[in-house]
Structure 1
Amino acid sequence: MTKIVNTWKSRFAQRERFRRTLNELNMLSDREAADLGLARADFRRIAHESVYGF
């Protein structure tokens, strides 16, 4: 049972990091994103790779 709870907590923490990362990316202006070579359409993928590694 403990393993299940720890797995759940870990996944919840990852999801929270993903949400925070995506929110931070979405706070960038179009110009700031372009200066970094990022497109808004890529934000979800970038956040996902940052948190989950793939």
Structure 2
Amino acid sequence: MPTEVHVTIGRIEVSAVPATAPEKRAPTERRQPMSLDEYLARRQRGGP
């Protein structure tokens, strides 16, 4: 004869752990967008 097993769960508690704050990066300098004239001159020179 098989043995019967009864399992009951009364209450489950779940708590969240706050994530660590990400490290702040130093602000990077943003260059101004290249104008069409600058792009064409650079392209003509063969520069990057």
Task: Flag the structure with larger Rg.
Answer: 2
TM-score category (smaller protein): under 0.3
TM-score (norm 1): 0.25
TM-score (norm 2): 0.25
Q: Which has the higher contact order (CA 8 A, sep 6+)?
A: 1
Name the structure with the higher helix share: 1
